[in-house]
Amino acid sequence: MRLLLVSLLTLYSYLSFAQFNPDAGVIASYTESASFISSSNPSNLDRAFDRNLDSHWQSGAALPYGYMASDFQNLLKGFNGDRSTDGALNTGEIIKPSDTLRFNLEGENAGRISIKVGLRGELSLKLIPISGMVSTIATLTRADNYKIRHYVLPEGFDGSVELTVTNTAQVFEVAAMKSNIEEYAGYLSSTPQRVGQVWIRSWPGSPGAIEARLEGTVDGVNWSTIEQLHPAAFREYPVVLDTPRLLLGVRVVQVLAPADWAKVNVWEIRAYDEFGPFGKTPAQVDPSISFGEMLGVNGLWGWGYGKYSDGVADSLGPKRFSSVFAKARNYHNLDWDISAPGEIADYSQMAAGNGTQAKGWVNWDREYTNWREAGLEVNPSVRISTHAEDEWNDPENQARVWSKDFAQHFTDSIGTVEIGNEPWSFSAATYSAILDGAIAGFAEAGKPSSSTVLPCALQAADPHVESTRNGKNYIGNRISTSSLSKIKGLNAHAYSFLNDRIGNRHSIYPEHPASKWNELNNLLRWRNTNAPQLPIYLTEFGYDSPGGGDECVHSECTTEEEAAAYTLRSILLANRLGLKRADYYFFGNSERSGLFSKSGLVGKVSSGAQDKKIMTTLKDFVDQLAEYRVIEIIAEESDRYIYKLENLAGETRWIAWIPKSLSSSSFVATELLGKQQIFNFAPSQTLTGEISAWPSIWK
């Protein structure tokens, strides 16, 4: 009987593992099943499609003579159907004085002619323009034999080129090139695909391109420009088509000024439908969590004042934020608790006022008690990376020792505990072992890990980040199937970023089809496949903006009103997706500058920590809708989002907005005629009867 039970458990474990799909959230690029094409140098072409933004395809050198063999670059390739235009420099045709070779270049924007000959007499090279005088631009003699000679054509030349000889000669090759060098890399599919987004890193390298463009083809032969690209863009960025197109392939074309040995690079090309690498948003709605229950804020020991919160005025510390938020997440530095992995923090001694093993002054009980008394659920995010990875030399056992001590002391007084915030420089093996060990420690403490433990923030969109230095956060590599069956939920950070056409990163409204916010779609698909019982906790989202007495000047800054409007819309989207929690980052602006330094709800302490627009707007939101939740999607279209809301008493509301930037025009809400607009979150709060980019409530 015991043997049968063991066999059944083994079979169950095997079947569970067999069903696990680490890449369930990934949306494949069309390039993954396509053939690759280029104007030159196909030997390293796969590097432009390997999802590694640090590797690249490099073209060949069109000049001084590389272009002559190219069907794309040589305007005369195959022109005669003989060996004088076959692109091969050592084959040719015999011509006599009675022969005239004429090459039509009308409408080709030709910029140069190249020629290789073997002469007994002389060869004349003449230009015959459509309008104007015939002219001889070169006379070749035996001194030019077997050498490649180049002749620059007059700017704007449109016409034909003619060759004549005074004695029998051999013409090895005649070639023509446009005024500038053009190189491309791209792909062709076996069947047409619906293309709506193309993600590109096309930085050409030094000395740079003078033009770049994205081209598409419906037949594999004829190409047309989809969009002009910025030739100096350094980072990857998306091209979002206004209307998806059925295309057989796309390519990036780069144009260079003519120079010998000049080359260009293409680093990455990916192509998708209109939903991009994120896929379509799942249609699910989970009405179990109200807005008031899900809202959290990212806080910090002392709330910016460098002392325990019980020494901070109620108007400045945790009570200030509990008027809006039900939950608070804290960055719990592990190096405040233990001086090295494997040490025991001895939290019971801490509770007696004797500090932790690492810091004699630390008393988390004192800090967290003040948060709870303010009305905030405490959710520590334990920053395991405050100890470098090489200190975790026995990671599973070291994590087990620490977490058992932590669980015995804290579990009954906190909501969730995250094993790491963003330890994305750690290897997958180290992190997975730490998570497994932490779960084991909770079990040994007699505290069910399923009631408390979350992993660090992870994503399910891009497995290739595991080859980067500091961005290794792919869920398929970092959570074992054993841990997946024991953790309480999954953890995500979602910021609505978008790189512009020169590659600079900006914040954008969350519904933008290429916004990084949409990585939540990938995580939801991964969860639905591998662990449908697990909720997802959004433990960081937010927007940098001025306000509260502070300026905001880095590229990711929004306006103060944009930050407020986009935050409301992010919360609505998170609730509609069924996320368990949404923790805003951050409670206050920091004294430093740069990304995330101005994402606070209030200004920095040195500026008086005044409420920003986002804080006052969230107060209005909670006043109006704390008890409500999304119960139905009425519309999610490019010009309107409309959700039906309901509270536990069965009272219903509708909330609507335009999923665009704040500068987008409003329109009369014809779909809501018969309902009354009762609150507008726009700054004026005027009841206009129209939908705008600011959400408004209808009854």
The string of pLDDT tens digits covering residues 542-595 is 999 999 999 999 999 999 999 999 999 999 999 999 999 999 999 999 999 999
Dihedral of CA atoms 342, 379, 462, 278 in degrees, nearest 10, equals 170
Task: Calculate mean pLDDT across residues 224-252.
Answer: 97
**Residue 435 CA neighbour count, 13 Å, CB half:** 34
Residue type for 112, please?
R
Angle value at C-alpha 399, between 397 and 403, nearest 5 degrees: 120
Contacts of residue 526, defined as CB under 8 A and 6 or more positions apart, other chains included, come to: 24, 25, 460, 475, 476
Better-scored residue on pLDDT, 663 or 410: 410
Q: Is the pLDDT of residue 356 over 70?
A: yes
Residue 377 in contact with residue 428, Cβ under 8 Å? no
Predicted local distance difference test score (pLDDT) of residue 258: 95
Which element (helix H / strand E) includes 103?
strand 101-104
Tell me how far apart the alpha carbons of residues 675 and 697 are, in angstroms, rounded to a whole number.
10
The string of pLDDT tens digits covering residues 277-329 is 999 999 989 999 999 999 999 999 999 999 999 999 999 999 999 999 999 99
- Say how far residue 54 (Cα) sits from the centre of its chain: 15
Q: Is the pLDDT of residue 5 over 70?
A: no
CA proximity to 193, closest of 23, 24, 31? 31
Helix, strand or coil for residue 102?
Answer: strand
Tell me how far apart the alpha carbons of residues 531 and 479 are, in angstroms, rounded to a whole number.
12
Q: Is the pLDDT of residue 3 over 50?
A: no
Predicted local distance difference test score (pLDDT) of residue 667: 80
664: which 2 tokens? 């987008």
- Mean pLDDT of the chain, nearest integer: 95
CA proximity to 118, closest of 90, 152, 157? 90
Cα–Cα distances in Å, from 618 out to 331, 528, 645, 681?
A: 23, 31, 17, 9
Q: Is the pLDDT of residue 254 over 70?
A: yes
Per-residue confidence at 266, pLDDT binned at 50, 70, 90? very high
Predicted local distance difference test score (pLDDT) of residue 450: 62
Q: Is the pLDDT of residue 505 over 60?
A: yes
Predicted local distance difference test score (pLDDT) of residue 472: 98
Task: Calculate mean pLDDT across residues 231-240.
Answer: 95
How does DSSP assign 323-389, residue by residue?
A: TT-SEEEEEEEGGGT-SSTT----HHHIIIII--SS-TT--HHHHHHHHHHTT-EEEEEEEGGGS-G
Task: Calculate mean pLDDT across residues 72-89.
Answer: 96
Tell me how far apart the alpha carbons of residues 368 and 377 are, in angstroms, rounded to a whole number.
9
Better-scored residue on pLDDT, 475 or 448: 475
Task: Calculate mean pLDDT across residues 529-537.
Answer: 96
Helix, strand or coil for residue 448?
Answer: coil
Predicted local distance difference test score (pLDDT) of residue 335: 98
Better-scored residue on pLDDT, 2 or 146: 146
CATH 2.60.120.260 is right for the domain spanning 66-178: yes
Task: Calculate mean pLDDT across residues 120-139.
Answer: 96
Per-residue confidence at 71, pLDDT binned at 50, 70, 90? very high
Q: Do domains 30-61+181-278 and 66-178 have the same CATH topology?
A: yes
Q: Is the pLDDT of residue 45 over 70?
A: yes
Per-residue confidence at 11, pLDDT binned at 50, 70, 90? very low
Per-residue confidence at 668, pLDDT binned at 50, 70, 90? confident
Cα–Cα distances in Å, from 147 out to 65, 171, 480?
A: 11, 11, 65
User: In the CATH scheme, what is the code of domain 30-61+181-278?
Assistant: 2.60.120.260
Predicted local distance difference test score (pLDDT) of residue 673: 73
The full set of domain ranges for the chain reads: 30-61+181-278, 66-178, 285-299+489-516+535-588+596-699, 326-488
Residue 436 in contact with residue 519, Cβ under 8 Å? no
Per-residue confidence at 449, pLDDT binned at 50, 70, 90? low
Predicted local distance difference test score (pLDDT) of residue 666: 81
Better-scored residue on pLDDT, 5 or 681: 681
Task: Calculate mean pLDDT across residues 233-257.
Answer: 97
Predicted local distance difference test score (pLDDT) of residue 9: 37
